[in-house]
Amino acid sequence: MDNPLLYLSISVLFIPIISFLILIFFGKRLPRRGDWLATGLLFLNLIISIIILIGLTNSGVYSISFEWFNLGASPLFGELRFSAGFIVDELSAIMLVVVNIISSFVHLFSIKYMEGDKKYHRYFAFLGLFTFSMLGIVLTNNLLIMYVFWELVGVSSYLLIGFWYEKKAPYEAAKKAFIVNRVGDVGFFLGILIIFTTLHTFNFSEIFAGVEAGRLSGGLLTAAGVLLFCGAVGKSAQFPLHVWLPDAMEGPTPVSALIHAATMVAAGVYMVARKFVMFSPDALTVITYIGAITAFIAASIAITQNDIKKVLAYSTISQLGYMIMALGIGAYTYAMFHLVTHAFFKACLFLAAGSIIIGMHHKQDVGDMGGLRKKMPITYYTFLISTLSICGVPFTSGFLSKDSILSASLAFANINGGFHYIIPVVAFGVAALTAFYMFRLLIKTFYGEPRNKEAYDHCKESPFVMTAPLVGLAILSFFAFYTPNPFNAESGWLVKMLEAPEMILAGTSGAVYKILPKVEFLEAVHHAHYTAMFLSLLCAGIGILAAYLFYHWKKVNVKKLTETFNPIYKFSLNKWYFDELYDKTIISGTFLLTRVSNWFDKYIVDGLVNGSGSFTQFSSKVSGKFDNFFVDGLVNLTGGIVAFFGLIFRKIQTGRIQTYIAFLIFGILILFFIFRDML
Amino acid sequence: MSLYDGIFYAFAIITVVSAFIVVLSKNIIYSAVSLFITLFGVAGFFVLLHADFIAVTQIMIYIGGILVLLIFGVMLTTKITDVKLKTKNINALTSAIFVIGITAVLIFIMLTTNWKVAEVVKYDETIDKIGVLLLTDYLLPFEIASIILLIALIGAAMYARKSK
Amino acid sequence: MEVGLNHFLIVSALLFGIGLFALVSRRNAILVLMGIELMLNAANINIIAFSRYGGLGVDGQVISIFVIILAVAEAAIALAIVLNIYNNFSTINIDEVRTLKE
């Protein structure tokens, strides 16, 4: 118990909730409505989490469980013991730092962004609540507790997306996000139930031990893995549940940066990584292909969107698809590495977008922008650095992590062969698309002539509290923070720290592919690395070049191109008609079901109820008659007898206690003479 | 007749006679004084029964506490010089018959029952044994007793207050 | 005859009877209380006599301590009641306190 990591992790977890509680109850009365308090506490939290990360290298993994409550023995599951606990290992420590860095920067940024809002203090309170629940997911060593925090994250996301609930779009978006997430969470919950019914525990290490012992195997293990992954599909906005994330951009932009780009959506990836060792080959196949499909769909949508935040949202989905895909092919380390780097540069992009939106007086359409480079130089340079990073240009962090994933995907295809080559093809294609749409966004926003003269004239650079987080996050997008070698991350501390655990089912093969032991896999990745690096640079170069050709040098007539490929363009612009599809099938299906159940309720259930009601009425009339004449007669007779004896016995009541005692003694004597034989 | 027996009979006579005085005396002060002697006699019995601690407790609590309390009650409720100090019995004859009946029954039962008498165990001291028992086997009753005393204290104080 | 269990029991029965007589026949509430004390003492003698002659160790003595404790509480409460009766009825003759009849 005397491990300092325990106290530090407890304080890291509870500082944000303290911030939440103070601000939600007293925020209105605090000076400046408490923003300094929330921001200060979060920076304190950041410092503590860095201490934890450093302390971890000295003390090793720390995990503690304690019994939460005990429901006693049950016939089905044996003893129902529910525990809770912390785990501080490399994975959670790095996530702690990432979440806290972005959360504290977002707090700082929001001071200016949300200035003058009516619910200013409540906004910061919700940020605290979100940070608390996210850190809860990161720190727990227990599936049930993780589920609780998982839902808390959903709630705080709901509160923040719908922060401006006076307007229609945000609350619709909040509702949509919450409901779509719920679909995934049902799967997650079913997965938890499968694990609990077979292994009787929620603790991660006990679950892994149970899987290793073979108490959960075969189809059930695959089902559990896929169902747990469903939770990640919802939270990390994977196909087919990705539709909520673009709508969630209705929330305040710093919130989009914190929740819908860097941390909450990464929770799904984190969750899969946490349980990485227990997935079966078939479950991993599902994960791989879902990730690849998501990456491709989102990238294809992003190239035609015109809302700056929507483009970033789809790019987020696409990058999350990358991470999920990387987890599926077994590249645990690279997925988490990409999660970290992506968190920084995507948060930077979103905050830069927020800065632009403030500068443009809440205009988000890139059609209104252009030429902002001169007006907002700091925003421009930070945006440029993050864009280079996401495109995978050398000397950036994005290059390192993306390159690792790409080489892993190539290695995966080399090992398994066959139609699995589609995975690296999609991955490289998406890399090219990413470079294209990000530079499209950059050129349309910052280069060329201003398209909206009035907005351009009023536009100016954001103040220091907004640019400082931008600069901070942009600096974190350089390679030097992660590795000394700008072309290979293998020797960097982060990759070493996030060393992949050996899969429990390593060496077994599923229906379509085989999990390799870690050493063999790393060997293959190493082998594929230079090919992959060359190809990824080529893809990024093609994408960037195409973007310049299309939008900057105007060598290609974009309008003509879109008219030629009108159906494809429309398809992408309308987001593959996913919303319409869901509207036609699931939502109208639900409405049909409600109408049918309404009819059933009205005519059949109500009919039964009314029928039994009138029957009861009839029988009550009959029993009423019986009651009046027969029962009442008996009761009155009894009463009369009692009254008669009462008249006699009231003489005995003198009101003198001593008389009563005398009678008592007399009674005892009589009893004695009756029972004297028994003495 | 041993010394023990002699002491017993002496105490028995003192106790019973003074108890009769308690009940039959017309003057309530006499009754109180006789009660003092009776309680003292009972304490003597406790000594004879090798219950030295109980005997001391009897003297301290009954004589030092309850009896004083009773005399306070007498003085608070009746003026010393008042005629009312002398109290009468009511229904003395019927009561006497009942009471003699029940006493006879009790004595009859006691004498006819074949009591199982075990070897008499001698203790040098009972205080340490009682102390250990009170804080081990009888800890819960002991604590409850303390709560009851507290409640009685508060209740008595509240109840004896002059109502407004 | 050597003094044994029965001797103590008879004395306690006599005390009990005398206390009961006080309880039943005296008008003065305080004398009634004295009767009750006598009865409690009789019971105590019984308990201790049995604990000595029954070979039951000192447990009986512990029980009698609880009896004494209860007697104290009872005396305190009862005297409070007597005082209250005196305040309300200006008398402590319980045959004049007959509101139980109504």
How many C-beta atoms surround the C-beta of residue A189 within 10 A? 18
Alpha-carbon distances, residue A183 vs A180, A236, A426 (angstroms): 5, 13, 27
Which range, of A126-135, A244-253, B119-128, averages the lowest pLDDT? Answer: B119-128
The first and second tokens of residue A94, run together, are 């790095």
User: Given C14, C25, C61, which is nearest B53 (Cβ)?
Assistant: C61
Residue with tokens 């002697």: B37
Which residues of chain B are within 8 Å of residue A659 when distances are taken between CB atoms? 91
Amino acid sitting at position A79: E
- Is the bond into A240 cis (omega within 30 degrees of 0)? yes
Residue A77: per-residue pLDDT: 65
SS3 content of chain B, % helix, strand, coil (to 5): 75, 0, 25
Give the range among A361-370, A435-444, C81-90 with minimum mean pLDDT: A361-370
Rounded to 5 degrees, φ, ψ at A70 are: -130, 120
Please report, rounded to a whole number, the percentage of residues in chain A having pLDDT higher than 90: 1
Residue A475 CB coordination number (10 Å) = 14
Confidence label for A204 from pLDDT (cuts 50, 70 and 90): confident
Q: What pLDDT score does B83 carry?
A: 46
pLDDT (average), residues A359-363: 77
C10/A496 Cα distance (integer angstroms):
95
Cβ distance B133 to C62 less than 8 Å, yes or no, reads yes
Residue with the two structure tokens 């005692």: A661
Q: Report chain B residues whose CB lies below 8 A from the CB of A665.
A: 98-99, 101-102
Chains that touch C (3 or more CB pairs under 8 A): A, B
pLDDT-derived band at A673 (thresholds 50, 70, 90) equals: confident
DSSP β-bridge partners for residue C38: none
- What is the SS3 string spanning chain C? CCCCHHHHHHHHHHHHHHHHHHHHHECEHHHHHHHHHHHHHHHHHHHHHHHHHCCCCCHHHHHHHHHHHHHHHHHHHHHHHHHHHHHHHCCCECCCCCHHHC
Let me know if residue C95 belongs to a domain: no
Q: How far is A273 from chain B (nearest CA, A)?
A: 56
Given a contact cutoff of 8 angstroms between Cβ atoms, the answer to whether A336 and A91 are in contact is yes
Which residues of chain B lie closer than 8 angstroms to A668, CB-CB? 102
Structure tokens at C94: 């319980």
Q: What is the sign, positive or negative, of the torsion defined by CA atoms of A531, A536, A538, A539?
A: positive
Arithmetic mean of pLDDT over chain A: 83
In a domain, C84, yes or no: yes
pLDDT of residue A211: 85
CA A415, A421, A422, A424 dihedral sign is positive
What mean pLDDT comes out for the span A327-356? 87
- List residues bridging with A365 in a β-sheet: A307
Q: Is residue C101 part of a domain?
A: no
Residue ranges of alpha helices (H) inside A162-239 are 168-199, 204-212, 218-235
Task: Write out the DSSP string of A432-455.
Answer: HHHHHHHHHHHHHHHSS--SSHHH
Query: What are the pLDDT digits (tens) for B45-89?
Result: 998 888 888 898 888 888 888 888 888 888 877 654 444 545 556
- What is residue B43's predicted lDDT score, i.e. its pLDDT? 92
> Which of A349, A344, A337 lies closest to A525, judged by CA?
A337
pLDDT at A198 over 80: yes
Partners of C62 on chain B (C-beta within 8 Å) are 130, 133-134, 138
Using CA coordinates, name the residue in chain B closest to A672: B105
Q: Which candidate, A323, A229, A355, places its Cα nearest to that of A284? A: A229
Question: Rounded distance, CA A438 to CA A488, Å?
Answer: 24
Helix (H) or strand (E) run with residue A87 in it = strand A78-88
Binned at pLDDT 50, 70 and 90, residue B90 comes out as low
Contact A508, A514 (CB under 8 A): yes
Which residue from A403, A629, A435, A447 is spatially nearest to A551, judged by alpha carbons? A447
**What local confidence, expressed as pLDDT, does residue A661 receive?**
79
Residue A296 has pLDDT above 60, yes or no: yes
DSSP A238: -
Structural domain range at position C58: 5-89
Residue C22: CATH number of its domain: 1.10.287.3510
Q: In the prediction, which pLDDT does A235 show?
A: 87
Residue-wise pLDDT tens digits, A470-516: 888 888 888 877 877 777 777 777 777 877 777 777 777 776 677 77
A201: phi then psi, degrees, rounded to nearest 5: -155, 160
Residues B20 and B40: beta-carbon distance below 8 Å: no
CB-count exposure of residue A620 (10 Å: 0-12, 13-18, 19+) = exposed
Whether the Cβ atoms of residue A267 and residue A235 lie closer than 8 Å to each other: yes
Tell me the per-residue pLDDT of B140-151, one tens digit each, with 9 for 90 and over: 999 999 999 999
Which residue reads 């819960």 in tokens? B140
Q: Contacts of residue B54 in chain C, CB cutoff 8 Å?
A: 44, 48, 61, 64-65, 68
Q: What is the pTM for the complete model shown?
A: 0.64
In a domain, C96, yes or no: no
Q: Token pair 């987020």 is at which residue?
A: A316
| Partner residue opposite C95 with nearest CB, options A653, A656, A665 | A656
Q: Residues 6 or more apart from A568 whose CB is under 8 A from it?
A: none
> Which of B39, B46, B114 best probes binding to C when mutated, by most C CB atoms within 10 angstroms?
B46
**What's the confidence (pLDDT) of residue B81?**
47
pLDDT on residue A511: 67
On the 0-12 / 13-18 / 19+ scale of CB atoms within 10 A, A579 is middle
Question: Which pLDDT value is given to residue B79?
Answer: 57
Other beta carbons within 10 Å of A307 = 15
Is residue C44 included in any domain, yes or no? yes
SS3 (DSSP) at A203: strand
Q: Which chains touch A (3 or more CB pairs under 8 A)?
A: B, C
Q: Which of A60-69, A250-259, B55-64, B140-149 has the lowest mean pLDDT?
A: A60-69
Burial A645-674 (b: 16+ CB within 10 A, else e): eeeeeeeeeeebbbbebbeebeeeeeebee
Structure tokens at A327: 């987890």
SS3 string, A62-85, reads EEEEEEEEEEEEECCCEEEEEEEE
Query: Residue C81 pLDDT more than 60?
Result: yes
Pairing of strands A78-88, A62-74: antiparallel
CB contact under 8 A, B54 and C18: no
Candidates B90, B98, B109; nearest CB to A679: B109
Question: pLDDT per residue over B91-107, tens digit each?
Answer: 677 778 888 888 888 88
Residue A86: in which H helix or E strand, if any? strand A78-88
Q: For residue B138, give Cα distances in angstroms to A221, B39, B143, B144.
A: 58, 26, 9, 10
pLDDT tens track for B5-58: 888 999 999 999 999 988 888 888 888 889 989 999 999 999 888 888 889 888
Partner-chain residue, chosen from B95, B101, B112, that has the shortest CB–CB distance to A679 = B112
Contact C97, C85 (CB under 8 A): yes
Whether the CB-CB separation of C75 and B70 falls below 8 Å is answered with yes
Question: What is the mean pLDDT of the segment spanning A338-361?
Answer: 87
Q: Do C16 and B5 touch (CB under 8 A)?
A: no
d(Cα A530, Cα A527) in Å, to the nearest integer?
7
Q: Tell me, what amino acid is at A678?
A: M
User: Could you tell me how far CA A141 lies from the centroid of its own chain?
Assistant: 17
* CB–CB contact B102 A679 (8 Å): no
Rounded to 5 degrees, φ, ψ at C90 are 60, 25
Taking residue B89's Cβ as centre, other Cβ atoms within 10 Å add up to 19
Cβ(A321)–Cβ(A296) under 8 Å?
Answer: yes
Q: Give the long-range contacts of residues B94-99, CB within 8 A, separation 24 or more.
A: B94/A662, B95/A658, B95/A662, B95/C21, B95/C24, B95/C25, B96/C21, B96/C25, B98/A662, B98/A665, B98/A666, B98/A669, B98/C24, B99/A665, B99/C17, B99/C18, B99/C20, B99/C21, B99/C24
Chains with at least 3 CB pairs less than 8 angstroms from chain B: A, C
- Closest CA of chain C from A646, distance in Å: 14
- The predicted complex's ipTM stands at 0.86
User: Nearest-CA residue of chain C relative to A651?
Assistant: C101
Residue A76: the pLDDT is 67
Residue A451 has pLDDT above 80, yes or no: no
The count of structural domains within chain C is 1
* pLDDT, averaged across chain C: 84
**A317, pLDDT greater than 50:** yes
Q: Is residue C45 part of a domain?
A: yes
Look at A409 and C57; give whichever has higher pLDDT. Answer: A409
Spatial distance between the Cα atoms of A624 and A628, rounded to a whole number of angstroms: 6
What is residue C101's predicted lDDT score, i.e. its pLDDT? 57
**Residue C11, pLDDT score:** 92
Q: Is residue C57 part of a domain?
A: yes
φ and ψ at residue A88, rounded to 5 degrees: -120, 100
**Cα separation, A388 vs A405, whole angstroms:** 17
Q: Which of A505-514, A543-552, A658-667 has the lowest mean pLDDT?
A: A505-514
Q: Which residues of A252-280 are buried (b: 16+ CB within 10 A; e: fewer)?
A: bbbbbbbbbbbbbbbbbbbbbbbbbbbbb
Cα separation, A356 vs A360, in Å, equals 6
User: Which residues of chain A make contact with B87, given a CB cutoff of 8 A?
Assistant: none
The answer to whether the Cβ–Cβ distance between C94 and A658 falls below 8 Å is yes
Ramachandran category for residue A554: left, alpha or beta (phi over 0 → left; psi -120 to 50 → alpha): left
